[in-house]
Every structure is written in structure tokens, then in C-alpha cells.
Amino acid sequence: MYYFVLLLTLIFVLAKLFGLIAWSWLLVFVPLIAWIIWLAFWIGLVVVIGLHEE
């Protein structure tokens, strides 16, 4: 999943730099941002469960 997100982001960045898409930079980095949010959610969930079990 991680490599797919990186590849998709790389494709979007290259397409933006070569003028193939006219998206904002925020939209270009959405796959990476979404993956970071998803990762932060799971880390937070593990921390909360870990603190709850003590």
C-alpha cells in the first residue's frame, strides 16, 4: 500500500511539473496526505488502546 501511494504521488507530481494536469499542489499530494492521516489514526488507536489496558 505504501509503495502504491508513493508511486501515485510521484506520477501526479511529474504530471504537474510537465504541465499534463492543472491541479493545485494540494490535490497532487492528496494520496500522500491521506496515507499520513491513515497512519496517524492507527498509531493513535494503538496508543489509546495501550494506555487503556494499563
pLDDT means per 10 residues, the chain with 54 residues, are: 92 97 96 95 94 80
Split into its structural domains, the chain has a count of 1
Residue 7: which domain range? 2-53
CA–CA gap between residue 38 and residue 44 (Å, rounded): 10
Residue 53 has a pLDDT of 78
Cα gap 17→32, rounded to integer Å: 17
pTM over 0.75: yes
pLDDT at 34: 95
Contact 6, 13 (CB under 8 A): no
Q: Rounded to the nearest 5°, which phi and psi values hold at 4?
A: -65, -45
Give the burial class of 47: count Cβ atoms within 10 A of its Cβ; 0-12 exposed, 13-18 middle, 19 or more buried. exposed
pLDDT for residue 4: 94
